[in-house]
């Protein structure tokens, strides 16, 4: 069993605290993804687990061992970096087995592990090439191969695909998912690409400014975000937010006048209803809009539509210039661009209060 447990972990550089007390449990065999905007502390947190950064407070457990004060080599982890850091003068085979030779693993065992990794990563026919003779994706596979042969308990990945072009990223993303299925090992993966996070993760940890905003499965975060930050971060294109004001509250039934709204939006908020006059934000996902359908109406002026073939992304503005994106299936014809009525089901909208907390 290889769980990873962070207990009130903190990190400061000088007087500046960048990780503010993180508690997190990652289960055995789980694929856990850290996401968040640049500078939120994803790499720092991963490097703390790897033992490449000291921590200022808290404990890190891997399996049943407190590794807080252990050296990286004694933690049973292996890390794959964004820059592959291969040795250019060594062949693929030599690169993959280098760490095992240093660790004095017997030769036939090394050969067996290298052959296994090469087969898993489809590198068999490249073993005698040098890194300079490989594509970016092949180099990244060599870096992963070097990690696999060490048979770590936990794999750590820091944006391993961000140097690859779009097509290769998709390909390698699927490779990494297969690898996880095959190896049955705990993986912690950092990315700021939320598509990678959605498709790879069993569990996503959304970070902002050194704190956890929410932890959950991809669809849980998508369907049931705790706050406006997570709602806006998970999902592509992002959720739309329209400023609004509460006009009436009757039991759990709450009416909101919102920017661009033709009529008021009425929703059921049974857990934490706001008060009349409160400022709120109304959140609507692009795919929950239709044109001239049923439900609550939003009046906008359409600007550019990105036509993807199967769907189109209509970029539009309210009369107060709030940007709205609507995902429209099928072809849009006969559109009076200055007078578009977007419609949505109130049950699919989200309400956030002024602090960004979700009202349910």
Ligand X SMILES: Nc1ncnc2c1ncn2[C@@H]1O[C@H](COP(=O)(O)OP(=O)(O)OP(=O)(O)O)[C@@H](O)[C@H]1O
Question: Which residues contact residue 316 at a Cβ distance below 8 angstroms, ignoring those fewer than 6 apart?
Answer: 300, 301, 302, 303, 323, 324, 325, 326, 340, 342
Residue 41 in contact with ligand X, rule: CB under 6 A = yes
Nearest to 41 by CA among 16, 66, 68: 16
Residue 44 in contact with ligand X, rule: CB under 6 A = yes
Judged by beta carbon distances under 5 to 8 A according to partner kind, the member of ligand X, Mg ion, none in contact with residue 192 is: ligand X
Residue 147 in contact with Mg ion, rule: CB under 5 A = no
3-state secondary structure of 305: strand
Judged by CB under 6 A, the number of residues near ligand X is 11
Nearest to 343 by CA among 322, 358, 328: 328
Q: What is the CA radius of gyration of the chain?
A: 25
The piece of 34-42, 92-100, 149-157, 332-340 that touches ligand X (CB under 6 A) is 34-42
Q: Which of residues 190-219 bind ligand X (CB under 6 A)?
A: 192
Q: CA 206, CA 212: separation in Å to the nearest integer?
A: 6
The gap from C-alpha 261 to its chain's centroid, in whole angstroms, comes to 32
Residue 39 in contact with ligand X, rule: CB under 6 A = yes
Nearer to Mg ion, 160 or 283 (CB): 160
Judged by beta carbon distances under 5 to 8 A according to partner kind, the member of Mg ion, ligand X, none in contact with residue 244 is: none
Judged by beta carbon distances under 5 to 8 A according to partner kind, the member of Mg ion, ligand X, none in contact with residue 355 is: none
185: its two tokens: 């090992």
Nearest to 94 by CA among 146, 160, 139, 136: 146
The piece of 26-34, 41-49, 107-115, 291-299 that touches Mg ion (CB under 5 A) is 41-49
Near Mg ion by CB under 5 A: residue from 22, 36, 40, 43: 43
Near ligand X by CB under 6 A: residue from 5, 43, 185, 240: 43
Write the CA distances from 252 to 66, 118, 266, 343, integer angstroms: 48, 60, 10, 23
Judged by CB under 5 A, the number of residues near Mg ion is 1
Residue 168 Cβ, how far from Mg ion at the closest point, in Å?
A: 20
Judged by beta carbon distances under 5 to 8 A according to partner kind, the member of ligand X, Mg ion, none in contact with residue 39 is: ligand X
3-state secondary structure of 134: coil
Residue 196 Cβ, how far from ligand X at the closest point, in Å?
A: 13
Residue 42 Cβ, how far from Mg ion at the closest point, in Å?
A: 5
Whether 204 contacts 197, CB under 8 Å? yes
The piece of 6-14, 35-43, 142-150, 217-225 that touches Mg ion (CB under 5 A) is 35-43
The distance between the two most distant Cα atoms of the chain, rounded to a whole number of Å, is 76
Residue 224 Cβ, how far from ligand X at the closest point, in Å?
A: 24
Parallel, antiparallel or unpaired: strands 265-268 and 311-317: unpaired
Nearer to Mg ion, 191 or 318 (CB): 191
Judged by beta carbon distances under 5 to 8 A according to partner kind, the member of Mg ion, ligand X, none in contact with residue 291 is: none
Whether 291 contacts 328, CB under 8 Å? yes
Q: CA 327, CA 197: separation in Å to the nearest integer?
A: 21
Q: CA 43, CA 160: separation in Å to the nearest integer?
A: 12
Nearer to ligand X, 172 or 190 (CB): 190
Bond into 168 cis (ω within 30): no
End-to-end CA distance of the chain: 37
Near ligand X by CB under 6 A: residue from 40, 172, 198, 282: 40
Site string for ligand X, 154-193 (x = CB under 6 A): --------------------------------------x-
The piece of 39-47, 88-96, 119-127, 302-310 that touches ligand X (CB under 6 A) is 39-47
| Residue 55 burial (10 A CB sphere; 0-12, 13-18, 19+) | buried
The piece of 37-45, 67-75, 118-126, 138-146 that touches ligand X (CB under 6 A) is 37-45
The contact set with ligand X (CB under 6 A) reads: 13, 18, 36, 38-44, 192
């Amino acid at each position: 069993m290889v769980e990873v447990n962070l207990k009130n972990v903190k990190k400061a550089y000088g007087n500046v605290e960048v990780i503010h007390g993180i508690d997190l449990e990652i289960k055995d065999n789980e694929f856990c993804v850290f996401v968040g905007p640049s500078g939120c502390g994803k790499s720092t947190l991963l490097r703390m687990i790897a033992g490449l950064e000291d921590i200022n407070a808290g404990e890190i457990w891997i399996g049943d061992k407190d590794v807080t004060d252990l050296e990286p080599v004694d933690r049973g982890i292996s890390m794959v970096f964004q820059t592959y850091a291969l040795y250019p003068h060594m062949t693929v085979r030599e690169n993959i087995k280098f760490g095992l030779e240093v660790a004095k693993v017997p030769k036939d065992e090394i050969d067996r592990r290298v052959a296994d990794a090469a087969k898993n990563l489809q590198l068999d026919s490249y073993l005698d090439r040098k890194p300079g003779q490989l594509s970016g994706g092949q180099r990244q596979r060599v870096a992963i191969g070097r990690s696999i042969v060490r048979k770590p308990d936990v794999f750590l990945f820091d944006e391993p695909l961000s140097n690859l072009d779009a097509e290769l990223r998709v390909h390698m993303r699927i490779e990494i998912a297969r690898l996880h299925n095959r190896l049955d090992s705990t993986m912690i993966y950092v990315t700021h690409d939320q598509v990678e996070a959605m498709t790879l993760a069993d569990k996503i940890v959304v970070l902002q400014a050194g704190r956890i905003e929410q932890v959950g499965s991809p669809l849980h975060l998508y369907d049931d975000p705790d706050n406006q930050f997570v709602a806006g971060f998970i999902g592509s294109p992002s959720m739309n937010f329209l400023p609004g004001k509460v006009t009436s509250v009757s039991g759990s039934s709450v009416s909101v006048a919102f920017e661009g709204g033709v009529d008021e939006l009425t929703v059921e908020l049974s857990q934490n209803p706001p008060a009349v006059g409160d400022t709120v934000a109304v959140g609507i996902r692009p795919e929950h809009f239709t044109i001239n359908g049923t439900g609550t109406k939003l009046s906008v002026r359409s600007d550019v539509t990105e036509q993807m073939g199967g769907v189109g992304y209509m970029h539009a503005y309210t009369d107060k210039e709030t940007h709205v994106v609507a995902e429209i299936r099928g072809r849009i014809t006969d559109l009076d661009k200055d007078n578009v009525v977007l419609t949505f089901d109130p049950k699919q909208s989200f309400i956030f209060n002024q602090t960004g907390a979700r009202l349910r």
